[in-house]
């Protein structure tokens, strides 16, 4: 049995922070892991905006509840779960992502946690450094063959460590920087690549 690890934002759902950015009119929140390679730098910037604009956890959760998964994402995920063991491996946070996990039928997800006091986001706690790669390595240590798909700089170690790594709708500058990785521009292409290598 092959284990398939999928990034969440950019593969199955829109970028949560970008949806928030549009609501609060913040250019800084439009930046993602497609723009910045250093995740801590990105999150420090996000936390700064959250403090400056006095954004509460409930504010973000209310926005997230209105976000819809990408068109075709549910069908793709249903298909993938019939062919593989599937785990979402994401640098998002349980406190933000759970309404979307619910919409997709509660797939397994490994991500991080925010620290919250009285609805105020005080920081974040990573599950571990380089979590995505370590999830792949852990599954491989259990003798799984592991396929993975993602779209950003924070997915590179995961994609390189997996037995098969596939970009999904990655921007041109990232694909050009890592030309050895396969690429899919939609869920249909991703499905075809996965079947070809299964």
Active site residues: 7, 9
Q: Which residues of 165-186 are buried (b: 16+ CB within 10 A; e: fewer)?
A: bbbbbbeeebeeebeebbbbee
Residue 65 per-residue DSSP state: T
Q: How far is CA 141 from CA 10, 96, 109, 148, 186, in A?
A: 28, 30, 19, 16, 30
CB 112, CB 96: distance < 8 Å:
no
| Ramachandran bin of 130, using left for φ above 0, alpha for ψ from -120 to 50, beta for the remaining angles | left
Cα dihedral 37, 40, 43, 48 sign? negative
Q: How far is CA 179 from CA 90, 173, 175, 183, 192, in A?
A: 23, 10, 6, 9, 19
Residues 6+ apart with CB under 8 A from 54: none
CB 192, CB 198: distance < 8 Å:
no
């Amino acid at each position: 049995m092959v284990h398939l690890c999928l990034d969440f934002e950019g593969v199955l759902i829109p970028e949560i922070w970008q949806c928030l950015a549009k609501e609060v009119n913040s250019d800084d929140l439009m930046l993602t892991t497609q723009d910045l390679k250093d995740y801590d730098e990105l999150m420090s910037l996000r936390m700064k905006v959250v403090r400056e604009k006095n954004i509460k956890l409930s504010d973000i959760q209310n926005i997230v509840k209105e976000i819809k998964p990408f068109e075709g994402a549910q069908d793709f995920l249903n298909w993938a779960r019939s062919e593989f063991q599937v785990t979402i491996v994401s640098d998002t946070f349980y406190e933000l992502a759970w309404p979307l996990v619910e919409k997709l039928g509660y797939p397994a997800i490994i991500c991080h946690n925010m620290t919250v006091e009285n609805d105020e986001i005080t920081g974040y706690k990573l599950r571990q450094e380089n979590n995505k790669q370590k999830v792949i390595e852990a599954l491989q240590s259990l003798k799984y063959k592991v396929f993975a798909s993602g779209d950003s700089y924070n997915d590179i170690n995961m994609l390189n460590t997996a037995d098969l790594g596939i970009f999904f709708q990655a921007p041109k500058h990232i694909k050009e920087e890592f030309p050895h990785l396969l690429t899919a521009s939609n869920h249909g292409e991703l499905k075809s690549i996965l079947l070809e290598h299964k």
